[in-house]
């Protein structure tokens, strides 16, 4: 066994030396010779392994691409999911900017701090305090309307009670000021937690659902003209005899508010006209519409009166030419219709009033339809001129129109 | 090595070589396991040193064909490591997991060292960093993976009692 072992050992040594020599020679080969040998190995022995490696590389790349695609899809989904809140926040901030532009001065913008606890559903923490000018009892408003009132003020923070707080009260009124009352939280169980109620409305004042309530300014804490809510209906309370209570839907949902405006005391005492669609603006708009309608009606009435007057003057002129005695007995002769005389060229006092002849004229001489053609809806004279002779009592003089703007509209 | 045992060893060798060209590219770790070295060592401890050296040289040369700039370096290193492993096989016990892991670690580290020196791609501090940092890490990973493979292929590599 010993010679065999030595032979084997010698053979191993020879093989090792041969391998080392071949390795060194291979390493020392120039690249022009290395490449053909390596290429031959790659295309023969290594070909299936290279194919496996290529497939593995492609699989890995596909896996990475899939991960990348998934990441991109997740990113797009994440962006899409966050787009709604961002858009809503953007809308809120834009509206808040609009509110700030309308308020112009005397307010402190404040961000609402989230993460509120269950017990804090009646309050709101604002990221603005005494250093920013916030003071206790300052109204907290949003672009939609009244939100609450500052209760506690720290140097950098403040806590406001919301309209849902049991202690919250605000004096309210309707836009036409026909009803006043006190708005407070509707504390009727879980369902009514998000509602308000308008108390103390006189029995004679009936509010229809949809009536918008505004702060009336009575009491001094809240300025006049902040929207509070919309009447939903009357709350029937048998105990109330002399007053009514209405359920009100607030205009502002505190859960959807991320930023608010705190009105400073000096702004609280001034007018908030035109900041929101204030009741004064609404009432003013209604009055303007009604006035425009009245002006148009007056204009049409004047047109009809002037036409009747011109016709009467023409008829009177025709009657006074023949003898006066025959005026009452003579049958009316058809005459050609006189040309309409421009009003400004015939003074009123040139045609004296003749009651006897006027009656005859009125009875016998009717203005031809084709010559005097007032608008059909304006034929009826004004009520105060029904029995009076035309030209003697004009229904509207210039003094009847104190508004100088309407005078140029006359013909 | 008897016929059945040789067949099982050849099967394990083929599996490891295939893993080297499939699993390793998919892992793409910075310190990657060397399945070729594990395969070489597994066979080397079961054959004579000369045969092991020849196997290592052939396998190294095949692997070098993909890296022409280092053509021959892997053959040289793997032949030396395989010969040494076969010559030292009496020292190690196949059923001792810790010794096997250490065996893989030393083998991989020695191979990388020889390879890097022969390759002449790195010099100075970079070579030292490659030898003492990345080669060590790669050797550790190879030892860990080799140990796992030994446990997985135990039914195949178990020495036959007959």
Q: Which residues contact A404 (CB under 8 A, 6 or more apart)?
A: none
Which tokens hold the place of B112? 């990388």
B chain contacts of residue A63, beta-carbon cutoff 8 Å = 26
Can you tell me the mean pLDDT for A280-285?
Answer: 46
CA angle B13, B16, B19 (to 5 degrees): 150
Return the residue of A nearest to B79 by Cα.
Answer: A19
Nearest-angstrom CA–CA distance, B80 and B82: 5
Instruction: Judge whether residue B39 has pLDDT over 60.
Output: yes
Contact flag A56-B25 (C-beta cutoff 8 Å): yes
Using the Cβ of A20 and the Cβ atoms of chain B, whether some distance falls under 8 Å is answered with yes
User: Does B132 or A311 have the greater pLDDT score?
Assistant: B132
Question: What is the pLDDT at residue A301?
Answer: 63
Is the confidence at residue A33, as pLDDT, over 90? no
Question: Does position A150 have pLDDT exceeding 60, yes or no?
Answer: yes
Q: Is A328 on the interface with B (CB under 8 A)?
A: no
Q: Which residues of B touch A46 (CB under 8 A)?
A: 62, 65-66
Confidence of residue A395 (pLDDT cuts 50, 70, 90): very low
Q: Do the Cβ atoms of B88 and A54 come closer than 8 Å?
A: no
Compute the distance between CA of residue A108 and CA of residue A386 in angstroms, rounded to an integer: 64
Q: Hey, which residues 47-66 in chain B have their CB within 8 Å of chain A? A: 48-51, 53-54, 56-57, 60-62, 64-66
Mean pLDDT computed over A375-384:
39
**Distance in Å from the first CA to the final CA of chain A:** 146
Kindly list the residues from chain A whose CB atom is less than 8 angstroms away from the CB atom of residue B79.
16, 19-20, 23
Question: Does A59 lie at the interface with B, CB-CB under 8 angstroms?
Answer: yes
- A237, A239, A240, A241 alpha-carbon torsion, rounded to 10°: 120
* Shortest CA gap A11–chain B (Å): 7
Mark which residues 27-56 of A lie under 8 Å from B by CB. Answer: 27-29, 31, 34-35, 37-39, 41-42, 45-46, 49-50, 52-53, 55-56
pLDDT given at position B87: 86
Lowest mean pLDDT among A250-254, A361-365, B81-85: A361-365
A19 to B54: CB separation less than 8 angstroms, yes or no? yes
Higher pLDDT, A330 or A87: A87
Helices (H), A218-353: 265-268, 279-320
Query: Could you tell me where the DSSP H helices lie in A125-254?
Result: none
Q: Determine the average pLDDT of the residues in A385-390.
A: 37
**Is residue A368 scored above 60 in pLDDT?**
no
Q: What distance in Å separates the CA atoms of residue B109 and residue B132, rounded to the nearest whole number? A: 9
A335 pLDDT exceeds 50?
no
pLDDT above 50 (res A145): yes
When pLDDT is cut at 50, 70 and 90, the band that residue A45 belongs to is: confident
* Higher per-residue pLDDT: A114 or B28: B28
Give the model confidence (pLDDT) of B76-100 as tens digits: 999 999 999 888 876 665 567 788 8
Hey, are the CB atoms on A29 and B28 less than 8 Å from each other?
Answer: no
> What pLDDT does A256 receive?
80
pTM: 0.43
Confidence of residue A79 (pLDDT cuts 50, 70, 90): confident
**Mean pLDDT computed over every residue of chain A:** 72
CB contact under 8 A, A37 and B28: no
DSSP A336: P
What is the C-alpha to C-alpha distance for residues A401 and A410, in angstroms, rounded to an integer? 11
What mean pLDDT value characterizes chain B?
85
Residue A281 has pLDDT above 60, yes or no: no
pLDDT of A405 above 50: no
Check whether A119 has a pLDDT greater than 70: no
User: Which of B22, B48, B72 has its CB closest to that of A26?
Assistant: B72
- A vs B: CB pairs below 8 A: 109
Q: Does B76 touch chain A if contact means CB atoms closer than 8 Å?
A: yes
Return the structure tokens found at A332.
């009316």
**What are A117's strand-pairing partners?**
none
Q: Which residue in the set A12, A38, A53 is minimally distant from B21, CB to CB? A: A53
Min mean pLDDT across A103-112, A148-157, A348-357, A386-395 is at A386-395
pLDDT tens-digit readout, A184-198: 988 776 666 688 989
pLDDT over 70 (residue A344): no
Task: Please report which confidence band the pLDDT of residue A391 belongs to, taking 50, 70 and 90 as the band edges.
Answer: very low
Angle between helices B49-64 and A31-43 (to 10 degrees): 100
Per-residue pLDDT for A369 more than 70?
Answer: no
Q: Return the minimum-mean-pLDDT range out of A39-43, A305-309, B20-24, B56-60.
A: A305-309
Give pLDDT, residue B71.
86
In this predicted model, what pLDDT tens digit does every residue of A120-144 receive, in sequence order?
677 888 888 888 889 898 999 988 8
Q: Cα dihedral angle (A216, A218, A219, A223), rounded to 10 degrees? A: 50
Residues of B in contact with A52 (CB under 8 A): 18, 21-22
Give the residue-averaged pLDDT of A324-337.
43
Partners of A261 in beta bridges: A109, A141
The pLDDT assigned to A402 comes to 39
Does B141 have pLDDT greater than 70? yes
Per-residue pLDDT at A149:
92
pLDDT confidence band for A5 (50 / 70 / 90):
low
pLDDT value at residue B153? 81
- Read out DSSP for A213-237? EEE--TTSSS-TT-EEEEEEEEE--
Q: What is the model's pLDDT at position A176?
A: 85
ipTM value, please give it.
0.80
| Distance of alpha carbon B90 from alpha carbon B98, whole angstroms | 15
Confidence at B154, pLDDT banded by 50, 70, 90: confident
**What is the per-residue pLDDT for B40?**
92
């Amino acid at each position: 066994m010993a010679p065999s072992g030595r032979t084997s050992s010698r053979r191993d040594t020879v093989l090792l030396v041969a391998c080392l020599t071949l390795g060194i020679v291979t390493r020392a080969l120039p690249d022009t010779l290395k490449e053909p040998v390596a290429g031959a190995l790659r295309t023969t022995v290594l070909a299936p392994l290279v194919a496996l490696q290529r497939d593995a590389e492609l699989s890995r790349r596909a896996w990475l691409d899939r991960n990348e695609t998934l990441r991109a899809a997740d990113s797009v989904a994440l962006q899409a999911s966050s787009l709604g809140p961002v858009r809503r926040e953007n809308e809120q901030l834009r509206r808040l900017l609009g509110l700030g532009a309308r308020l112009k001065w005397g307010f402190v913008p404040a961000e609402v701090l989230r993460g509120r606890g269950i017990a804090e559903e009646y309050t709101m923490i604002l990221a603005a305090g005494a250093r920013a000018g916030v003071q206790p009892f300052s109204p907290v408003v949003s672009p939609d309307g009244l939100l609450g009132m500052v209760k506690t003020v720290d140097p950098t923070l403040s806590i406001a009670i919301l309209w849902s707080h049991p202690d919250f009260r605000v004096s309210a009124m309707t836009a036409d000021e026909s009803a006043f009352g006190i708005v407070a939280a509707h504390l009727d169980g879980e369902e009514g937690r998000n509602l308000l109620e308008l108390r103390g409305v006189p029995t004679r004042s009936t509010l229809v659902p949809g009536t918008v309530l505004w702060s009336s300014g009575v009491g001094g804490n809240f300025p006049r003209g902040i929207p509070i809510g919309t009447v939903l209906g009357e709350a029937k309370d048998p105990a109330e005899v002399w007053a009514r209570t209405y359920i009100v839907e607030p205009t502002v949902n505190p859960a959807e508010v991320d930023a608010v405006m705190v009105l400073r005391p000096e702004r609280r005492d001034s007018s908030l006209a035109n900041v929101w669609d204030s009741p004064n603006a609404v009432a003013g708009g209604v009055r303007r519409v009604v006035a425009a309608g009245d002006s148009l009606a007056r204009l049409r009435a004047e047109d009809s009166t002037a036409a009747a007057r011109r016709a009467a003057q023409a008829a009177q002129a025709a009657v006074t030419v023949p003898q006066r005695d025959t005026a009452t007995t003579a049958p009316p002769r058809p005459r050609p219709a006189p040309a309409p005389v421009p009003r400004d060229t015939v003074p009123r006092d040139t045609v004296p009033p003749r009651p006897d002849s006027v009656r005859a004229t009125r009875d016998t001489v009717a203005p031809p339809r084709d010559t005097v053609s007032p608008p059909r809806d304006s034929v009826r004279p004004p009520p105060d001129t029904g029995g009076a002779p035309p030209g003697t009592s004009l229904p509207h003089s210039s003094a009847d129109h104190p508004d100088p703007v309407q005078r140029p509209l006359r013909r | 090595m008897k016929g059945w045992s040789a067949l099982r060893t050849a099967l394990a060798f083929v599996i490891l070589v295939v893993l080297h060209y499939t699993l390793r590219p998919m892992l793409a770790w910075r310190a990657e396991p060397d399945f070729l070295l594990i395969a070489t060592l597994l066979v080397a401890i079961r054959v004579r040193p000369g045969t092991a050296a020849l196997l290592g040289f052939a396998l190294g040369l095949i692997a070098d064909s993909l890296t022409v700039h280092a053509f021959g370096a892997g053959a040289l290193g793997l032949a030396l490591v395989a010969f040494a492993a076969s010559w030292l096989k009496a020292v190690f016990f196949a059923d001792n997991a810790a010794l096997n892991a250490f065996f893989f670690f030393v083998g991989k580290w020695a191979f990388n060292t020889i390879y890097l020196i022969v390759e002449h791609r790195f010099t100075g501090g970079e070579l030292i960093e490659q030898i003492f940092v990345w080669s060590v890490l790669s050797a550790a990973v190879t030892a860990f993976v080799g140990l796992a493979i030994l446990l997985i292929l135990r039914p195949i590599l178990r020495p036959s009692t007959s």
